Amino acid sequence: METITATVEYVGDLRTKGVHLKSGNTFTTDAPTDNQGKGEAFSPTDLVSAALSSCMMTIMGQVANREGVDMKGLKTEVVKIMTSNPRKIAEIKINFSHSNLKATDIQKQKLMNAARTCPVALSLSESLKQTISFNW
């Protein structure tokens, strides 16, 4: 039997409210200002872009735990590039940075490989360019 992960409700004015059923955590989306929205919350395409970053960090964290590497303080900057006709995400740029990551070159390579093979990265269309950089 399939388990429902979340419920999402359209609340009007191009806004949705979602609930993660297991935790009760909530999220709101709003259409961006360049597409008839107020831009007062993440847009759905912002969430996709942020989810890619979060997924990469999670899988990297699993590798880091196994390797004994402390990743606390790892941050990303996420840039989403949209195209029109059809309107879609054309590219997601993610820049990883850590001011003092204590890891060997081999461990860093394992972390970078893990990031690129996270489930979200593998689930996105091959036509969506993923530009990933690591600064440590």
Indicate the domain borders of the chain: 6-35, 44-135
Contact 128, 83 (CB under 8 A): no
Strand order in the sheet with 88-97: 75-83, 88-97, 129-135
pLDDT value for 77 = 98
* pLDDT score of 16 more than 90: yes
User: Per residue in 47-68, pLDDT tens?
Assistant: 999 999 999 999 999 999 999 9
Helix extents (H) in the chain: 44-67, 105-116, 119-123
User: Per residue in 23-46, pLDDT tens?
Assistant: 999 999 999 999 999 999 999 999
Compute the radius of gyration of the chain from its Cα atoms.
17
Cα–Cα distance measured from residue 5 to residue 129, given in angstroms and rounded to the nearest whole number = 28
User: Per residue in 66-118, pLDDT tens?
Assistant: 999 999 999 999 999 999 999 999 999 999 999 999 999 999 999 999 999 99
Report how far apart, in Å, the C-alpha atoms of 82 and of each of 17, 33, 128 are. Answer: 23, 13, 10
Could you say which of 3.30.300.20, 3.40.640.10, 3.40.50.300, 3.40.50.2000 is the CATH number of the domain covering 44-135?
Answer: 3.30.300.20
pLDDT value for 80 = 98
* pLDDT score of 1 more than 90: no
Helix extents (H) in 15-95: 44-67
- Nearest CA to 82 among 91, 71, 94, 73? 91
pLDDT value for 89 = 98
